[in-house]
Amino acid sequence: NAGVTQTPKFRILKIGQSMTLQCTQDMNHNYMYWYRQDPGMGLKLIYYSVGAGITDKGEVPNGYNVSRSTTEDFPLRLELAAPSQTSVYFCASMDGSNQPQHFGDGTRLSIL
């Protein structure tokens, strides 16, 4: 099993550009999450989804959008990149109660 796969691993964007961070999981998990990780700040929840077609905002959703058209995929979109969005982004999925969240290896994004 591949688990949770994130692409790309690294990306440099210019201010104002847009991009989509891809996340796919092959475990048939209903729950999926997007986090950003800034140095010394832990992980902050951006958006989450409880199933295909259902998404909701997390703690820090401004500047981001998500969609969940299939169980497997949960892309994160940045529309107008800003330097404050420079971070490492992690996608995670889980099956439900008493189960761990499984994380991908992250996308390191720099906005210059």
Partner 1 sequence: QQQVKQSPQSLIVQKGGISIINCAYENTAFDYFPWYQQFPGKGPALLIAIRPDVSEKKEGRFTISFNKSAKQFSLHIMDSQPGDSATYFCAASIPGSSYKLIFGSGTRLLVRP
Question: Residue 78, class by beta-carbon neighbours within 10 Å (0-12 exposed, 13-18 middle, 19+ buried)?
Answer: buried
Question: What is the token pair recorded at 67?
Answer: 């969609």
Q: Could you say which of 25, 81, 106, 109 contacts partner 1 (CB under 8 A)?
A: 106
- Please tell me whether residue 92 binds partner 1 under the rule CB under 8 A: yes
Say whether 34 sits in a helix, a strand or coil.
Answer: strand
- Please tell me whether residue 1 binds partner 1 under the rule CB under 8 A: no
Site for partner 1, rule CB under 8 A: 4, 31, 33, 35, 40-45, 48, 50, 56, 58, 90, 92, 94, 96-97, 100-101, 103-106
